[in-house]
Structure 1
């Protein structure tokens, strides 16, 4: 099975984004853990991680769409 370069690039970008997102959420939740709950500041950090993930995936999608493969 021959995989096109564009497909491989999409997979790599998506995998990197997911790994970074999971890392950011785990780091934020561990840094702001108080007992068994996350502090309010940690909630903001988690919302920021979600927002950055959405922005990154949007930018990556636009960049991939404009590439000539």
Structure 2
């Protein structure tokens, strides 16, 4: 059987990754460069400069979320006293 701690760690990690991917997608679609030919597979997608700053913000929020989750997991008591 899988321990509660492992399930909690996997859940928090999956949530963090999901939020990061969603945030990156939202920033990329919101700040897409208007002259970008997105239908051509040889041209990489690009964002306007403000979008780059927003993407750095998403990365910063991800790092802070993972750090807070680590502190939360460290302080939890998962020992089963049976």
Q: Normalising TM by the smaller chain, what interval?
A: over 0.9
- Structural mapping, 1:3-42, within 5 Å: 3-34=2-33, 35-36=35-36, 37-42=46-51
Q: Structure 2: which 5+ residue stretches go unaligned?
A: 37-45
Which structure has the larger Rg?
A: 2
Q: Structure 1: which 5+ residue stretches go unaligned?
A: none
Count of residue correspondences: 68
Q: TM-score, normalised by structure 1?
A: 0.94
More strand by percentage? 1
Superposition RMSD on alpha carbons, in Å? 0.7
CA drift of 1:42 comes to 0.3
Partner of 2:65: 56
CA drift of 1:56 comes to 0.2
CA drift of 1:5 comes to 0.3
Which contiguous aligned blocks of 4+ residues in structure 1 show a shift greater than 4 angstroms? none
* 3-state SS of paired residue (2:2): coil
Q: TM-score, normalised by structure 2?
A: 0.80
